[in-house]
Amino acid sequence: MTYKAAVIIPTRGGASKLHYPLDALIQQTEKDFQVIVVIDGDIDASEEVVNTYISERALNLSVIVLPENRGRVAALNAGHQAADANILIRCDDDIEMNPDYIASHLSYHLGDQEVGAMGLVHNLYPDTPHARVFGHYRDKRFREDAYASDPSGHWHFWAANCSMSARMYQAVGGYDTRYKQYGWEDVDMGRMLADRGAKMILAKNLEVQHHIAATTTAGRARRALYSGAARNIFLAKHGENALPPLRPTGMWGLAVRTFARIQTEFTIKIMGETADKIIDKLPFYAGEKIVSLIVESAGYAGSIYPHRARKKF
């Protein structure tokens, strides 16, 4: 049996949040789809959560459990390769979507041209100092800038909520296994699809709510460190001119470069925790700049000192 769509949900440690996408998928107006949850090493009984939904028979749901942590790319490829559907939709385990989510994704794949359809995520934060000073502001600005950006660069936004045909997935060879840690496997896929001639569509009606995991300054900066390291893999593959160079200049650039010299997972933790204790007491602009400095210097450190990023996500 071939479904119209397959929803692939990679997860690690997602037992407490898998209900967000699974409950929303039960409510979909389009019913001709399957759901594949891929557990990248079960560390919190996530399989039991998925099996509860399987027993309820409300979804065409199956689960793949990788015996150990192999990384996001391995989980994504396992789910995409197991799918029996024409359109493959990636959905992260902390996403909550509208009832027309599947139907909307499918609507972009009705023509003859191959399409990569993407929706941004609207990050939902708990009420923390990081969210009040940095998270809400940066999330809103990111989405505004993305929608206003040149469509020729929309492949950059291939991420946690996107869809392509099974043909295109096979044509590009799947997610690149060189991305073994956090970040850039998604942007890389967007670039590969664009290079293959797919029309990359960033659609406002595909936007979803995202129960974000990085709710502290330390958490956000740690991800920036890993993303900075993974950026090097992307540049080695697509060429140094594939992205604007990282050359922080001026007084701000000097501060970023200086902090980057000492940014490790340990210093990020200390700086982030300290920042979250004081930023609420400062003027908004000052607090936002402190968090920006920690995050940006962590990302720069990852690109200059990639060996500092070690853990698989």
Co-location of 265 and 243 in the same domain:
yes
Query: Do 62 and 137 share a structural domain?
Result: yes
Residues 191 and 231 in one domain: no
The pLDDT tens digits of the residues spanning 68-92 come to 989 999 999 999 999 999 999 999 9
Predicted structure pTM score? 0.93
> Strand 95-96 and strand 208-211: pairing?
antiparallel
Task: Give the pLDDT score at 180.
Answer: 87
Domain boundary among 168, 193, 211: 211
Nearest-Å Rg of the Cα atoms of the chain is 19
If asked whether residues 245 and 177 sit together in one domain, one would say no
Rounded to whole angstroms, the Cα distance separating 88 from 3 reads 10
- Specify the number of domains making up the chain: 2
Same domain for 188 and 232, yes or no, is: no
- Helices 217-238, 284-304: inter-axial angle, 10-degree rounding: 40
Residue 33, phi then psi, degrees to nearest 5: -155, 160
> Residue 247's pLDDT is what?
86
Interval 41-78: pLDDT, tens: 999 999 999 999 999 999 999 999 999 989 999 999 99
pLDDT digits (tens, 9 = 90+) for 232-258: 999 999 999 999 988 888 999 999 999
CB-based contact 251:293 (threshold 8 Å): no
Residues spanned by the domain of 138: 3-211
CATH code (residue 90): 3.90.550.10
Q: What are the percentages of helix, strand and coil residues in the chain, rounded to 5? A: 50, 15, 30
Nearest to 15 by CA among 294, 41, 251, 311: 41
Provide the b/e sequence for 162-189 (b: ≥16 CB within 10 Å): bbbbbebbebbebbbeebbbbbbbbbbb
